[in-house]
């Protein structure tokens, strides 16, 4: 959780100092919504409970970052051991089981970089690209023939001219 906390705290730091009251929802609703649109509307209920209203897209970003920071830390911890993690230990990341140790280390490194970029950019594009690329690779490696060819060195004799398939327009 050491890396998740700074993300959440950084978000909290950007919150405005204005704290709305429940009665403001009627009398200052435009100000409240404007603050929420900027991701900064705070409201304190009569019992002291604090609420924050923010754009759904920002909430999704924070949820995605939290989820993948947790996954990163879990995997990093598993890879500190000498043996490869088992599928049941990988949980949601069980799709990584087709990778060798070297690839798993590379995945963890790239995931870390993508998380830092997503956090800084407040955009998950780099993270999405990273996950998509590795998931796609895992699927391709599931098949023994695809795996053998993708991991083998280039042998010119293995390749032939592509023939022209015919078909209707």
Partner 1 sequence: MARSSAYDPHMPARRPGGKPEQAPRYRVLVHRRYLDHYEELVGRVGIKQARQFWDHVAQDPGNPDPIASTCFLRGQAGRPKSPGWSRTIHYEVSSSARIDYQYHDAYTTEPDGDLHPVVAILTINYSSH
Q: Is 144 a residue that touches partner 1 (CB under 8 A)?
A: no
Among 13, 17, 47, 169, binds partner 1 (CB under 8 A): 169
Q: Is 150 a residue that touches partner 1 (CB under 8 A)?
A: yes
Cβ distance to partner 1 smaller for residue 24 or 105:
105
Q: Is 103 a residue that touches partner 1 (CB under 8 A)?
A: yes
Q: Is 48 a residue that touches partner 1 (CB under 8 A)?
A: no
Chain centroid, CA 69 distance in Å: 8
Count Cβ atoms within 10 A of the Cβ of residue 96 and give its class: 0-12 exposed, 13-18 middle, 19 or more buried: buried
Q: Could you give the CA distance from residue 48 to residue 107 in angstroms, rounded to a whole number?
A: 44
Q: Which residues of 47-79 are buried (b: 16+ CB within 10 A; e: fewer)?
A: eeeeeebbeeeeeebbebbbebbebbbbbeebe
Among 40, 64, 70, 137, binds partner 1 (CB under 8 A): 137
Cβ distance to partner 1 smaller for residue 40 or 137:
137
Q: Is 56 a residue that touches partner 1 (CB under 8 A)?
A: no
């Amino acid at each position: 959780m050491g890396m998740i906390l700074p993300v959440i705290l950084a978000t909290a730091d950007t919150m405005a100092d204005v704290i709305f009251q429940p009665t403001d929802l009627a009398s200052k609703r435009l100000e409240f919504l404007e603050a929420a649109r900027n991701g900064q509307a705070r409201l304190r209920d009569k019992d002291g409970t604090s609420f924050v209203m923010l754009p759904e897209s920002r909430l999704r970003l924070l949820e995605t970052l939290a989820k993948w920071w947790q996954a990163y830390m879990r995997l990093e911890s598993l890879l500190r051991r000498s043996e490869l993690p088992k599928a049941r230990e990988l949980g949601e990341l069980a799709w990584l089981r087709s990778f060798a140790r070297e690839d798993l280390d590379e995945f963890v490194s790239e995931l870390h970089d993508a998380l830092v970029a997503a956090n800084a950019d407040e955009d998950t594009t780099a993270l999405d690209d990273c996950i998509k690329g590795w998931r796609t690779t895992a699927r391709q490696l599931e098949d023994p023939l695809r795996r053998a060819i993708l991991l083998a060195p280039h042998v010119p004799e293995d390749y032939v001219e592509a023939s022209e398939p015919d078909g209707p327009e």
